[in-house]
Structure 1
Amino acid sequence: MLNIKVKSFNELTTLELYYLLQLRSEVFVVEQDCVYQDIDGKDQKSLHVLGIKNEKIVAYTRIFKPGDYFELASIGRVVVAKNEREYKYGYDIMNASAEAIKTYFNETTIKISAQVYLLKFYNNLGFKETGEEYLEDNIPHIAMIKG
């Protein structure tokens, strides 16, 4: 069972920030073999949804209010540690993120930029594809909206 916390950038402890950046780097840079600028200056204006298990961040997203990333509220940097994926924490962290968007931003329509190979996962969460596929950091993505 995941313990979910939602924090602003300034509320993160140094250790939480370290662990969330470590997890993002571990998956997005190393596992996906993708060289890109993860630390993009947007962490300061997002809320961070932390999925904690045994005092370690094993699942994570960051969420944005409308206008801070896309025109709609959005969820990004969706990540679950490789050795924890069998527990389906992706669903837990995404559902908690959608709930946080409702609670903190009073929004129910959400836009994401999804990696195409995760299309079914996002469809299962109620997201529908919109537009054409595109490359982001050399990985096929597609815009999806849940509303």
Structure 2
Amino acid sequence: MLDIQTKTFEQLNTKELYDLLQLRSEVFVVEQDCVYQDIDGKDQKALHILGYRGSKLVAYTRIFQPGDYFDEASIGRVVVSWHERKFKNGYKIMNASIKAINDHYNTSEIRISAQTYLKTFYNNLGFKEVGEEYLEDGIPHINMIKS
């Protein structure tokens, strides 16, 4: 069971902020061997979707209202701890993020910048590819929309 919490930046305590930055670094920087600027000044505008197993943060996204990142609402920094992926926690955190966008921003139109190798995962959640593949931080990505 994944315990999902939604918090603004101001509601995050120091441990929660540390844990989410650690999880993002563990997957995006270490596992994917990608050097990039994770702390990008956008966390302050985002709602943070935190997925816990017990007291351990194992899944995370951040969501934005329309206009803060893209014209549409958006989901980013989608991350699940390596050991937790077999439990379908990627689907659980994404479904919670989609619901949070509906609840907080009253919209169902969502744009994401997805790592290309995860297209099928996002297709299964109702996202469709738009535009051409591009490189972001050396990793192939594609824009996807859910409406």
Alignment match, 1:97 = 97
Match of 1:50, SS? Answer: strand
Instruction: Give the structure with the larger helix fraction.
Output: 1
How far residue 89 of structure 1 moved from its aligned partner, in angstroms, is: 0.2
Q: Is residue 33 from structure 1 mapped to residue 27 from structure 2 by the alignment? A: no
The whole-number CA distance in structure 2 between the counterparts of 1:129 and 1:123 is: 8
1:8-27 correspondence runs (5 A): 8-27=8-27
Distance 2:86 2:140 in 1: 24
CA distance in 2, matches of 1:43, 1:56: 20
Q: How many residues align?
A: 147
- Following TM superposition, by how much is the alpha carbon of 1:54 offset from its aligned partner in structure 2, in angstroms? 1.3
Query: Is 1:78 matched with 2:78?
Result: yes
Runs of 4+ in 1 over 2 A off after TM superposition: none
In structure 2, the residue matched to 1:54 is 54
Gapped runs of 5+ residues in structure 1? none
Aligned match of 1:126: 126
Cα distance between partner residues in 1 of 2:11 and 2:101: 17
- How far has the Cα of 1:122 moved from its partner? 0.2
Show the 5 A alignment for 1:129-144.
129-144=129-144
Q: Residue deviations 1:64-108, cap 9 Å, x none? A: 000000000000000000011100100000000000000011010
User: What is the TM-score normalised by the length of structure 1?
Assistant: 0.99
- Is 1:107 matched up with 2:116? no
What is the rounded CA distance, in whole Å, between the counterparts of 1:27 and 1:125 in structure 2?
Answer: 21
**Residues in 1 aligned to 2:97 and 2:25: alpha-carbon distance in whole angstroms:** 20
Could you state the TM-score of these two structures normalised by the residue count of structure 2? Answer: 0.99
Which residue type is aligned with residue 21 of structure 1? L
- Give the equivalent residue in structure 2 for 1:5: 5
Gaps of 5+ in 2: none
Question: Partner of 2:108: helix, strand, or coil?
Answer: coil
Query: SS in structure 2 opposite 1:43?
Result: coil
